[in-house]
Amino acid sequence: MRKLIPILMLIILSSCVSYTVQDGYDAIRLPDESGNKPETRYRLIKDSEEPYVPSAPVVEAVEEEAEEIPAAIIAEEEPILIPEDAAEAAEEAPEAAKAEDKLAYPDKLSSITFPYLYTVTDESRLHDGAIITAKVLFLPLGFKPIEDAGRIISSVSDIDADFIILTGSLENQAIAAESAAMNAVTLEGGTILYTARIEFADSDSAVFSLSEDKDIEIAPISSSRQMPSSASGISRWIASIREDEKAVTAEVLTIADNMVDDNALIALSAPSPATADWTDLTPYSYRHQESFLLSDRLADNGWRDAYRDTHFSAETDPGITAISGEVYERLDFIYIKDMIPGSVVSFPVAGLTDTVGNLGVVAEFAIP
């Protein structure tokens, strides 16, 4: 009889466990998701009672209304249009609303109005999958005339980037864009070559669809810089940075604040280094503990330095993008919001580094 008691106890306990687990499964109630889900994509939200109209009108590809839109903003197959809600804003700020669709840059580049669309093909490349990645190549061309744009573009052709962002003089941007034979949109701060589908552009930024439900907004910003060629000129360089620091920072933050998409990227050719790069322990003897307003204010406003986020420290990974004599600095930055940086690398580019002294930056991001 005593031998039977443990056996009976095991049977009773195992039946209780089975009942408890099954009871737990039966208690699970999943929410009903069969109905319509609320739309969260900015470019598709346009039926609210009080539609949001940004400072520069958002444009959509709407074939039925194409006849009512000025010819200057209409592309051949997929016109970029202004929604009815933004018509008054477009009349008040025509420079922000118009986009010219051309097959070549004009000889007189000063005649360009921004945004300027340079169209090579009507095809666009969209990605599939739950997590979308974007590869961005940043080429700071500088303000000195480049000698061989074709050599620069051919040397990076194997990267197969979704976007190639050009900063520097307008002449350098136009020459490189024509050499690349990609669709491009030229803005006041730079040119974006793209394989994605463009959705909207104003004078400062452009929104692209990477997939049917993932967008990215890009703003290129070009600033000239006065880098010295030796350590003896560093103190004068810092003093010149201080003279314009507040005005430059205000201008960059204005562009950043007017960006409307959650997934945002700023490709910045800056006149000043980043505070995080200047410490007493770097391999560069001319550097010392120093702060720079532009990088600090961008960080305060939630913009992340993609290179610094993916590298250990300035002591071991300086990420140089500009060389002048014996002075080596990182002055070309990719700042991001709401994206996950996978890798960011600065590298020498044939035809650019050996002539102008600037390096390229290639980065890959995941858009959740």
Q: What is the pLDDT of residues 292-331, one digit of tens each?
A: 999 999 999 999 999 999 999 999 999 999 999 999 999 9
Average pLDDT, the chain: 81
Q: Which residues pair with 360 in a beta bridge?
A: 347
Q: Determine the pLDDT at residue 103.
A: 74
pTM of the model: 0.74
Beta-carbon neighbour count of residue 109 at 10 Å?
A: 14
Report percent pLDDT > 90 for the chain: 70
More confident residue, 212 or 102: 212
Task: Give the pLDDT confidence score for residue 101 in this predicted structure.
Answer: 56
pLDDT digit string (tens) for 2-34?
Answer: 444 444 444 444 444 444 444 443 444 444 444
Task: Write down the pLDDT at residue 102.
Answer: 63
Confidence at residue 220, expressed as pLDDT on a 0 to 100 scale: 98
Does the structure show a pLDDT above 60 at 83?
no
**Tell me: the pLDDT tens digits for 147-156?**
899 999 999 9
| CB-neighbour burial class of residue 85 (10 A; exposed 0-12, middle 13-18, buried 19+) | middle
Name the residue with higher pLDDT: 136 or 95: 136
Mean pLDDT is lowest, of 77-91, 198-212, 282-296, for 77-91
The whole-number average pLDDT for the span 186-214 is 97
> What's residue 88's pLDDT?
42
What mean pLDDT is predicted for residues 53-76?
Answer: 36
Looking at residue 218, its pLDDT comes to 98
The pLDDT assigned to 368 comes to 86
> What's the average model confidence in pLDDT over 39-61?
40
In this structure, of 26-35, 72-81, 129-138, the range with the lowest mean pLDDT score is 72-81
